[in-house]
Structure 1
Amino acid sequence: MRNAGAALLRVLTVWAVSTLTMLLLAMVMPGFRLQSADGDSLTQLGRVAALGAGFFGLLNALVWPWLVRALLLVPALVLGLLVFLLNGSLLLVALSAVPQGRGEASPAVAAVVAAVMSVASSGTATLLAVRDTGAQRRRMRRLAGWRATRGQPAPRSRTPGTVFLQLDGVGYELLCEAIGGERPLMPTLAAMCGTTHRLTPWRTDWSSQTGASQLAILHGSNENVPAFRWYEKATGEVIISNRPSDAAELQRRATERSGHPGLLAEDGASRGNLFTGGADQVALVLSVAVRRGRRQRSRAGYFAYFADPARAARTALSFVAELGREVGQALGARLRGERPRVPRGGLYPLIRAFATVVQRDVVTASVAGDILNGRTAVYADLVAYDEVAHHSGPRGRDTRQVLARLDRCVASLAQAIRYAPRPYHLVLLSDHGQSQGETFRARYGVSLEQLVRAGSGQPVEPPRPLCRPNASGEPAGAEARNAARAALHRPEESPEPPGGPARRRGAPVVLGSGNLGLISFPGLSGRASAEAIAARHPGLLRRLADHPGIGFLLVRSELHGPVVLGAGGAQHRLATGEVRGADPLAPFGPGAAEAVLRTARFPDVADIMVNSSLDPETGEVHAFEDQVGSHGGLGGEQSRAFLMSPIALSAPGGDTGAELVGAESVHGVLRRWLAEAAARPAEPRAGAPTPAAS
């Protein structure tokens, strides 16, 4: 009875706030009226507002979820824009039900009034639920789109579940700065580190980017993934890690090599990732974006998100605010003369708003739903920081704001864990870091493609404008771009870059993957040797190796196998370890030779692999794409990612404390932790909220 009375009080209070909000809006908004032409008493106005607010609340509770479900096949971002129109339509229906036709509003005004009322009622319900754990649990389940089976809550369990939350692109050094000091930028993570969690760095592969790292973390193998994008001579196609069809193929290959479906095969969920990890439940996963099965739609998580009109309205407003923020920040950077800097026009503001608002909010809500539903393992990727850092720099003013918002996402998931039907281990990790630096073309006035074409006797095309397709054929911001395209139901972009091998017979294919460049010669079969390249294009290798913006080249010698070439004729013969001249790999630190040698053995490694130079004092590199914050090769902070793991789990490096090297080793650690969680039921938590039927 007490619970029923408290619930009734909350309903009445929310209704009262909605009524008051409607009255105030009717007073201040032209085109919105709650009284007759002859005027009404305040009592009559209050009655009309109460009836209108009540009808609107019922429609939101009963009709809205079904309306959104019916429109699930509408492109996700279009559905987000339709939120105002749909919610306004429900308000018009509610006003039409008011006796004597006193409610009246134009469609545009109705949309605004509905959004304000939804936000006000949602905020009131949240405040009322703060001290009521049962109501708080039900509210979080509802906001996460949680649906219990046959109306029953998920069963309680003492076996811990595990949530792996990837903060895309956040490097180890950057995180240490963000959680350090008296007023840390990320206070939630700062409170966790050293109390409940330990912080550990791990070293990425040479290809320090999401495609290679996440494929190995989720599926156990990134064999033959030399970069974010590469040219396969056998098929004559360019493979791009975040193109849905290519992601599906890479996942199939990795599953075949590893011999198991993935990290999340046992009651797992994959949210916002490139790959599924073998999970049965997926949302915003690119490798299944082209599928249409009920449980394999990558956009399935959008329903859970947009089912709450108040939250949908808030995110739509945040999306617009983020657009304005990006325009203002880009203008401010130009006025201050910040360097390095790249243009941030075109579609980039929309892509940034999608990554920092829509993708972030939908993924967070999906994970909260998984937690409240008691799922065993969840892996989610928040891409917001990585996308902004590419254009604003790893430590720009813009990225600091994004990091603070990501910290709040972690706090909201920690709150959801309090109300979960089982204990949870929350593991935070990154797939790579980011290194800052002026782009190769901005620094030296020539692109890598122009340099290669000039050195190989090909006609040199004029430079492409910045923020247009780069050497890889993809515009800046491509990492989040394909996720946005999938959300919009847009078809995949052409797998062949503009002016690609089919149109330029005999010309080299030059691709960029951060500060890693890949040069392939379609006219030379198989992996072309250094000798064959020198015979076909005399002087090209030396011209590249001696360039001040290039740190080293990887080629295959017929005599010595894989060889790293540096300036002044220096060589590092990887098969034997023999070094002639100054070691080209020395500036890139310990482990560089092993990382390069591993990639050199991949079947589809490019004929020439190019790594930009590194400033040993500043850690700056030069991206072959239009990015001031980049990753993909060696040099700087991009190769140092982090793991923040619960102290209750074993140390990442085991008893020896060995350094984790390569994403495949991280996969092994995460699998070990899942096994530990399954084998060690947790003790009942003191003061934990008691589950209540929903």
Structure 2
Amino acid sequence: MRGVRGGRWRRVASQAGRSVAVWAVSTITMLVLAGILPDFQLRSADGDSATDIAVTAALGAGAFGVLSALVWPLLVRLLLLVPALVLGLLVFVLNGFLLLLALRLNPTERGAAAWETAVVVAAVMSAVASATGAALAVRDDDAYRRRLYRLADRRRRGGPAAPSAPGVVFLQLDGVGYDVLRVAVGTGVMPTLARWLDGGTHRLTPWRTDWSSQTGASQLGILHGSNEDVPAFRWYEKDSREVMVCNRPTSAAELQRRAVERTGDDGLLGVDGASRGNLFSGGADEQALVLSIATRRRSRETRSRAGYFAYFSDPANAVRTALSFVAEVGREIGQSTRGRVHRVRPRVRRGGLYPFIRAFATVVERDVVVAAVMGDMLAGRTAVYADLVAYDEVAHHSGPTSRDAEKVLERLDRSLALIENVAEHAPRPYRIVVLSDHGQSPGETFRARYGLTLGDLVRAGCGLPVPRKAQRTHSGAEARAAVRAALRRPVEEGREQHRPARRSSEPLVLASGNLGLVSFPDVPHRMSKEEIDARHPALLTTLANHPGIGFLLVRSEEHGGVVLGPFGTEIPVDQLDENPGPLAAFGPGAADAVRRTHGFAHTADIMVNSWYDPGEGEVLAFEEQIGSHGGLGGAQGRPFLLSPVALSAPVADAEELVGAEHVHRVLRRWLDESGGPQVPLPERQDEQRAA
């Protein structure tokens, strides 16, 4: 009993000593700032002694610290109603307001500051106090652990002790391809992962995505065991007459509901799990920044912004992240300007709100998600799955192998090192698995190369009006000539007269990276090749013969489904193994991926995959991206799985890891091996029901 009391008093004394040290450093910081900034005063107009000024600084620093600890969390909770991008701009103003309030409450009544100066002073003091507290706490394991608990607000007060069996943390590096990771490890860009691989603690395994090589399809399959009927990132569903978009909350919720209904299982994280920064919950009890729950009625469990409060309730975190946010905006503007000056090609527009979107993805989302993962580990949760989207966002606009994207990988590696360090303080051992959901393939956009969009080409192939700029392109002229030839109309030498479309419904063209989807909304079923030819005789020929298009997939009344290529190539999907035709350039597995998508209920009337250059690994994005993913071709379809050797190998040496659903089964097996949730796989459930 005496030992327990003695330890408690030592902790109290240690905490008191750290508080005094932080107070002293804050006081010195305030004195230094008062000497530097002309609009920040700690003395009366008549002048004061050095002692009076020091007392004023000490009282002001103490009041600011107390207000930061008590008032700031309340302000941040109110700010959950504010958009996340606005939060970064308000952090400095609110912190400055707390400093002005602290000076007003100072009984010496000597302190004064202009409001803009107060913002600067408060930011510097918060940063210095945070650095001092962290430096002192690191030397004390118990204090460091308590600080990390507060950072993520995930302590299980009064809960059961954590089991001794290892937990598993799955960290998804969104968009990082297998080859990109190997280069980053080999060149020292990611030293933490290099140390894991060189030290023999982890193994690196590539895997192959489905045709829809994007986060929605991959993460749904990984977390919920089924990505059936997800043909792309966005697609049109004729039965509901709605466009589904994977990163739209209502669509994400519906996709998750369908997957759970199909598998009869809540997901990978269904027992004592946490889902952080994902599109889908995986059945986790603890969820933060999860898109599929954003539309639910808000509660403590389902509030999508709860992770923001947990992180920003510490004013030092708020200031540090806000400063990094501003720096990232400046970095993006500088990098974009340099690219324009040096005429870097390929290039896309990076103005407007993009610098702020990039800063949110690379700074705010990263900081909040990493903090939440650390809290989950310290709370002893069994399974955690988190998505870090920073690389994917930057690679879309700067290129997958650009210097901009490489810098993001460096910062992500530091986040992995921090999580590794926190694992040493967790109440149970953890196995850290790092994986990606897809890669990215480089290449210029379809519009940049040909002067018109896929939608323009489809409209031209249907004989519908297109913008004048698209008319003047070679592709537009060829498409219009093909239409006139198919309809046996003479070529007009003079000015064309464009009339509104005769049909009430025009084709709907959607893009998902280098995968395009063409649907005819007025037809309630998936149209066949024969029906499309009857309505638009030149459309399929125009698309299949275009140099920027690799192949088409359409339904056929005669063959069930056919892949179309240039020069009249037409191969039934059940004969692709013997004669891959235009799919040959896309490598092994392309035929299986196309066949699987052909069987989906909501596959578009025409599935269009762009041209692919196997030598350079380049594709042509139908969106404005120079690093793209969503279809077949190149690195986009080859993500990675980096796992501890303490877990069984993902697949046997002679096998290949194919599809997100296969990855799900591997991760479920690893949870079982770690003594985690003993949830049967879907096929096991079927066997048990039969028995």
**Normalising by structure 1, what TM-score?**
0.89
Shift of residue 23 of structure 1? Answer: 0.3
Q: Following superposition of structure 1 onto structure 2, how do residues 327-346 of structure 1 map, counting pairs within 5 Å?
A: 327-346=333-352
Structure 1 counterpart of 2:375, one-letter code: G
Equivalent in the alignment of 1:493? none
Cα 1:537–1:388 shift into 2, 3 Å: same
Structure 2 counterpart of 1:349, one-letter code: P
CA contact (8 A) 1:572 1:579 kept: no
Cα 1:69–1:9 shift into 2, 3 Å: same
Equivalent in the alignment of 1:93? 101
Q: What secondary structure sits across from 1:575 in the alignment?
A: helix
Shift of residue 30 of structure 1? Answer: 2.4
Distance 2:90 2:345 in 1: 40
Equivalent in the alignment of 1:303? 309
Distance 1:133 1:87 in 2: 30
Structure 2 counterpart of 1:660, one-letter code: L
| Residue 370 (structure 2) pairs with residue 364 (structure 1) | yes
Equivalent in the alignment of 1:602? 600
Q: What secondary structure sits across from 2:210 in the alignment?
A: coil
Aligned-residue sequence identity (percent) comes to 65
Q: In the alignment, which of 272, 277, 280 is matched to residue 285 of structure 2?
A: 280
| Residue 539 (structure 2) pairs with residue 540 (structure 1) | yes
CA contact (8 A) 2:88 2:325 kept: no
Equivalent in the alignment of 1:245? 250
Distance 1:137 1:63 in 2: 24
Equivalent in the alignment of 1:408? 414
TM-superposition CA deviations, 1:359-406 (whole Å, max 9, x none)? 111111111111111111111111111011111000111101111111
Shift of residue 315 of structure 1? Answer: 0.8
Shift of residue 199 of structure 1? Answer: 0.5
Q: Following superposition of structure 1 onto structure 2, how do residues 209-220 of structure 1 map, counting pairs within 5 Å?
A: 209-220=214-225
Equivalent in the alignment of 1:635? 633
| Residue 11 (structure 2) pairs with residue 7 (structure 1) | no
CA contact (8 A) 1:163 1:379 kept: yes
Shift of residue 656 of structure 1? Answer: 5.3
Distance 1:351 1:77 in 2: 8
Q: What secondary structure sits across from 1:294 in the alignment?
A: coil
Equivalent in the alignment of 1:146? 154
Equivalent in the alignment of 1:316? 322
Distance 2:577 2:260 in 1: 36
TM-superposition CA deviations, 1:318-376 (whole Å, max 9, x none)? 11111111111111011111111111111111111111111111111111111111111
Q: In the alignment, which of 30, 36, 59 is matched to residue 22 of structure 1?
A: 30
Equivalent in the alignment of 2:562? 563
CA contact (8 A) 1:10 1:125 kept: yes
Equivalent in the alignment of 1:44? 52
Equivalent in the alignment of 1:678? 675
Name the stretch that deviates more: 620-629 or 101-110. 101-110
CA contact (8 A) 2:516 2:608 kept: yes
Structure 2 counterpart of 1:397, one-letter code: R
Structure 1 counterpart of 2:667, one-letter code: L
Q: In the alignment, which of 254, 261, 266 is matched to residue 261 of structure 1?
A: 266
Equivalent in the alignment of 1:473? none
CA contact (8 A) 1:118 1:309 kept: yes
Name the stretch that deviates more: 49-58 or 92-101. 92-101
Q: What secondary structure sits across from 1:72 in the alignment?
A: helix
Equivalent in the alignment of 2:661? 664
CA contact (8 A) 1:507 1:521 kept: yes
Cα 1:578–1:422 shift into 2, 3 Å: closer
Distance 1:337 1:387 in 2: 21
* Unmatched segments (≥5 aa) in structure 1: 465-500, 682-694
* Unmatched segments (≥5 aa) in structure 2: 1-8, 471-499, 679-691
CA contact (8 A) 1:572 1:578 kept: no
Equivalent in the alignment of 2:438? 432
Q: Following superposition of structure 1 onto structure 2, how do residues 325-474 of structure 1 map, counting pairs within 5 Å?
A: 325-462=331-468
TM-superposition CA deviations, 1:98-136 (whole Å, max 9, x none)? 223111123322222111111101101111223221222
Equivalent in the alignment of 1:689? none
Q: In the alignment, which of 63, 69, 72 is matched to residue 61 of structure 1?
A: 69
Distance 2:550 2:532 in 1: 19
TM-superposition CA deviations, 1:505-534 (whole Å, max 9, x none)? 321111110000111122333111111111
Distance 1:110 1:578 in 2: 70
RMSD: 2.0
TM-superposition CA deviations, 1:614-647 (whole Å, max 9, x none)? 1121010000000000000000100001000111
Distance 2:334 2:527 in 1: 48
Q: In the alignment, which of 611, 623, 626 is matched to residue 624 of structure 2?
A: 626
Distance 1:336 1:574 in 2: 46
Q: What secondary structure sits across from 1:644 in the alignment?
A: strand
Equivalent in the alignment of 2:494? none
Structure 2 counterpart of 1:295, one-letter code: E
Cα 1:256–1:366 shift into 2, 3 Å: same
Structure 2 counterpart of 1:92, one-letter code: L
Distance 1:458 1:126 in 2: 65
Distance 1:578 1:259 in 2: 33
Structure 2 counterpart of 1:639, one-letter code: G
Distance 1:5 1:270 in 2: 37
Q: What secondary structure sits across from 2:324 in the alignment?
A: helix
Distance 1:107 1:577 in 2: 70
CA contact (8 A) 1:447 1:463 kept: no
Equivalent in the alignment of 2:588? 590
Distance 2:649 2:502 in 1: 53
Q: What secondary structure sits across from 2:612 in the alignment?
A: coil
Q: In the alignment, which of 82, 87, 94 is matched to residue 79 of structure 1?
A: 87
Distance 2:231 2:612 in 1: 20
Shift of residue 579 of structure 1? Answer: 5.8
Cα 1:306–1:561 shift into 2, 3 Å: same
Q: In the alignment, which of 179, 190, 194 is matched to residue 190 of structure 1?
A: 194
CA contact (8 A) 2:173 2:388 kept: yes
Shift of residue 502 of structure 1? Answer: 13
Cα 1:656–1:620 shift into 2, 3 Å: closer
Structure 1 counterpart of 2:670, one-letter code: W
Structure 1 counterpart of 2:263, one-letter code: S
CA contact (8 A) 2:42 2:56 kept: yes
Structure 2 counterpart of 1:218, one-letter code: L
Name the stretch that deviates more: 310-319 or 204-213. 310-319
Q: What secondary structure sits across from 1:242 in the alignment?
A: coil
Shift of residue 233 of structure 1? Answer: 1.3
Q: What secondary structure sits across from 1:618 in the alignment?
A: coil
CA contact (8 A) 2:167 2:676 kept: no
Shift of residue 570 of structure 1? Answer: 2.0
TM-superposition CA deviations, 1:446-499 (whole Å, max 9, x none)? 2111111111111113569xxxxxxxxxxxxxxxxxxxxxxxxxxxxxxxxxxx
Distance 1:373 1:73 in 2: 27
Q: What secondary structure sits across from 2:574 in the alignment?
A: coil
TM-superposition CA deviations, 1:398-450 (whole Å, max 9, x none)? 10111111111111111111111111111100000000001011111121111
Structure 2 counterpart of 1:251, one-letter code: Q
TM-superposition CA deviations, 1:569-595 (whole Å, max 9, x none)? 223322234766x81110000111001
Shift of residue 605 of structure 1? Answer: 0.4
| Residue 124 (structure 2) pairs with residue 125 (structure 1) | no
Distance 2:109 2:41 in 1: 11
Q: What secondary structure sits across from 1:354 in the alignment?
A: helix
Shift of residue 545 of structure 1? Answer: 0.9
CA contact (8 A) 1:160 1:376 kept: yes
Q: What secondary structure sits across from 2:235 in the alignment?
A: strand
Count residues in correspondence: 639
Shift of residue 679 of structure 1? Answer: 6.2
Cα 1:74–1:214 shift into 2, 3 Å: same
Shift of residue 79 of structure 1? Answer: 3.4
Structure 2 counterpart of 1:599, one-letter code: T
